[in-house]
Homo-oligomer: A and B are copies of this chain.
Amino acid sequence: MKSPLLEKLALNQVFASLNESDLTELAQLSISRDYDKDAWIVFYGDIWPNLFWIESGLITALKESPGGRSLIVATIEPGDVFWGTALFLDHAPMPVGLIAEKASRIHIWPRERILPIFLRNGKMSWELSRMMVNRMQHASDIVEELAFQSIPGRLARLLIDRYGEEDGPVARDLTLDEMAAHIGSTREMVCRALYRFADDDMIEITRTEFTFTNRDQLSQLAHKHTD
Q: Enumerate chain A interface residues (CB-CB to B < 8 A).
A: 63, 65-69, 71, 73, 85, 88-89, 92, 95-96, 119-120, 122, 125-126, 128-130, 132-137, 139-144, 146-148, 184, 224-227
Contacts and interface: CB of A to CB of B under 8 A. Distances in A.
Contacts of A69: 147-148, 227
Nearest to A67: B227
Nearest to A132: B132
Contacts of A184: 146-147
A58 B66 CA distance: 36
Instruction: Rank and list the top 9 A-B pairs by shortest CB-CB distance, nearest first.
Output: A67-B227, A95-B140, A146-B146, A139-B139, A65-B148, A88-B133, A65-B225, A132-B132, A125-B125
B147 A71 contact: yes
A220 B187 CA distance: 29
A136 B133 contact: no
B125 A89 contact: no
A133 B89 contact: yes
A54 to B, nearest CB: 20
A144 B85 contact: no
Nearest to A149: B65
Contact of A85 (B71, B120, B137, B225): B137
A128 B95 CA distance: 19
Contacts of A142: 143
A92 B120 CA distance: 28
